[in-house]
Amino acid sequence: MAEEFEPKIVAFLCKWCSSAGSDLAGVSRMEYPSNVIPITVMCSGSVSPLYIFSAFNKGADGVLVSGCHPGDCHYIKGNFYARRRIALVKKLLEYVGLEPQRFQMSWVSAAEGIKYTQVIKDFVQELKPLGPQKKLRRIQ
C-alpha cells in the first residue's frame, strides 16, 4: 500500500499570539500532526502576499497565516490590514483554480493552544485528500 500523503504546510505565525498559542499547545503537550513548519513573524500584518505566492511556488501544499483576534493585535491594528490583504490573495488564488483549502487564515490568541492544534489538525485533514499541490509548484 502506498504511504499516506503528508502535506507540507508553511505557517506564518504572529509572534505575540499564534506563535505563543502554539508554544502553549507545546507546554500543554497537545499532540497534533507534524506537517506544519512554523515561521514566526512579528505581526500577521507583516505577511506580504509575496510570501504566500513564494511558498506555493516552492512547493507548499498549504499555507496558513495566523494572527491575533480583531482588537487584540499587539501592534493595535496590524491584523486588520492582514485581514484585508489576505482576503484579496485568497480570492485571487481561488479564482485561478487553486483549491480554497490550501490557503487559510486563522485567529489564534496566546491563550488558545487548543484552537491552534485544532486549526492544524483540520488543515492537515483537509489537505490530505487533495494530494500534492502541483499547480503552482516550481517547474524545474
Partner 1 sequence: MKRTGIFVCHCGINIAGTVDVKKVAKELSKHKGVVHAEDYVYVCSDPGQNIIINAIKEKKLDSVVVACCSPTLHETTFRNTSKSAGLNAFQCEIANIREQCSWVHKDMEKATDKAIRITKSTVQRVRRNESLEPISVPVTRKAMVIGGGIAGIQSALDLANTGFEVILVERAPSIGGHMIQLSETFPTLDCSQCILTPKMVEVSKHPKIKLMTYSEVQDISGYVGNFKVKILKKPTYVDPDKCTLCDECTKVCPVVVPNEFDLGLTGRRAIYIPFPQAIPATFTLDIKSCPGLLPIACGKCADVCEPDAIDYDMKPEIVEEEVGAIIVATGYDLYEKELLTEYGYGKYPDVLDGLQFERLLSASGPTMGKILRPSDHKVPKEVVFIQCAGSRDPELHCAYCSKICCMYTAKHAMLYKHHVHDGQAYVFYIDIRSGGKDYEEFVQRAVENDGVLYLRGKVSKIFEDNGKIKVWGVDTLTGKDIEIDADMVVLATATRPSKGADELAKKLKIAMDKDGFLAEAHPKLRPVESVTSGMFLAGAAQAPKDIPEAVAQASGAAAKAISILSQDRLYHAPTVAKVNINLCTGCGMCVQVCPYDALSLKDGKAEVNEVLCEGCGTCSATCLRAAIQVKNMTPLQVNEMIKASLGG
Partner 2 sequence: MVNLEELKKEASQILKEGKVKYIIGLQSSSNGLLPVPAFIKNPEDVEKLVWNPACVYNLTLFLRDEKRRKAKEKEPDEKPVGIIVKGCDSRAINVLLQEEFIKRDDVYILGISCENTGVLDEKKLAKKLKGKKAEKVEFGEKDDFVITTEDGKIKIAAQEVLSERCLECKAHFPVIYDVLIGEKTKRNIENPFKSLERIESLPPEERWKFWKEQIDKCIRCYACRSVCPMCYCDECVVDTISFVVTPDTPAEEKAQKIKWLEKSPVSSENFVYHFVRAIHLTGRCIDCGECERVCPLDIPIRFLNKKLEKEAKELFDYEAGFDPDQPSLVSSFKDEDPEDFIR
DSSP label at 80? H
Among the listed ranges 5-13, 19-27, 31-39, 49-57, the one in contact with partner 2 (CB under 8 A) is 49-57
**Rule CB under 8 A: is residue 127 a binding residue for partner 1?**
no
Site for partner 1, residues 78 to 107, rule: CB under 8 A:
78, 81-82, 85
Cβ neighbours of 139 (radius 10 Å): 6
Q: Does 50 bind partner 2 (CB under 8 A)?
A: yes
85 near partner 2, rule: CB under 8 A: yes
Q: How far is C-alpha 80 from the geometric centre of its chain's CA atoms?
A: 17
What distance in Å separates the CA atoms of residue 61 and residue 136, rounded to the nearest whole number? 10
49 CB contacts (<8 Å, ≥6 apart)? 85, 88, 89
- Residue with cell string 502541483: 134
Encoded one letter per residue, x for contact with partner 2 by CB under 8 A and - for no contact, window 99-138 reads: x----xxxx-----------x--x------------xxxx
**Per-residue x/- marks for partner 1, 50-69, CB under 8 A?**
xx--xx--xxx--------x
* Cell numbers that stand for 54 in this block: 513564494
What is residue 17's DSSP assignment? T
Pick the closest to residue 66 from 129, 108, 98 (CA basis). 108
Binding site for partner 1 (CB under 8 A): 6, 8, 10, 16, 19-20, 22-27, 29-34, 37-43, 45-51, 54-55, 58-60, 69, 71-78, 81-82, 85, 110-111, 117
Binding residues (CB under 8 A) for partner 2: these are 49-50, 53-54, 57, 70, 77, 80-81, 83-85, 87-99, 104-107, 119, 122, 135-139
